[in-house]
Structure 1
């Protein structure tokens, strides 16, 4: 009887330990839900007018909001903590002035989000069309603090670092956007 109880207790402990070591990706699901809502609202805002000047201003503002989202979810060391959203917006706005001009001369029927795609990190977090959650995604835990997040359509995984939650390691292209906010 004692042997049976010890065996059951051992199995129960092994199951509890195995379950507790499984990684929780609910934060990534929350990101996806948040950004899907944001992209729908951004598209609605951009398409709310046919005036190309106003449309280009709205698009740039919405794009800046997505970059601010990335900035606030970056791993340590990629952005100086003293660079708040307002300072970052001033830094990046000039980088998007050419995009603003090109939208003003584009056809009114063209979708600015297709002409000038959002950063790859945002596209990655948005995931596959038609996916409800993370079911089409795969995760490769490199070590306890590094994760590769692969999506169905992506060529490269999104790298994440853990520090009281997951944070994005930006691609080189995106990192260059934040050069005005680096130490």
Structure 2
């Protein structure tokens, strides 16, 4: 099961001589526990990570997540591919308290209970950071016609550009005065 694969037992490092271990995962795109808002995965998610013990109960996880996403353009809504290659790095503190991994404390540590590091939240965060705040199919995307909804990248629609939504007529008058 994918959920069990995405948990690293940090106590295994206690038995390792060099106190460092490498992990590699491939998460099937259909069984992904990672959620992409308004999109999905084209390829499986490939994760490579190194966990090393730094001090008593303190670990460092560094890794790379790679995949391809299918996302809608923020202007014209056409689906496009986004290549994801995102590095992640977190310090982890093992504690006896049950604390949500999503919350980072004031010293920059993620606190986890009983030495079991769930990767799901780290991968979710890395993938979300790789998605631009404004994802466009092309730099000069024309978007959709505000009147009929035609994708203007495919050609003009023939709508009268002087037709203004009555709710926005006040703004049109304002901008006409500025010209």
TM range (shorter): under 0.3
Q: Which structure's relative contact order is higher, taking Cα pairs within 8 Å and 6+ residues apart?
A: 1
Compare the two structures and name the one with the higher helix fraction: 1
**TM-score between the two structures when normalised by the length of structure 1:** 0.26
**TM-score between the two structures when normalised by the length of structure 2:** 0.26
Structure index of larger Rg: 2
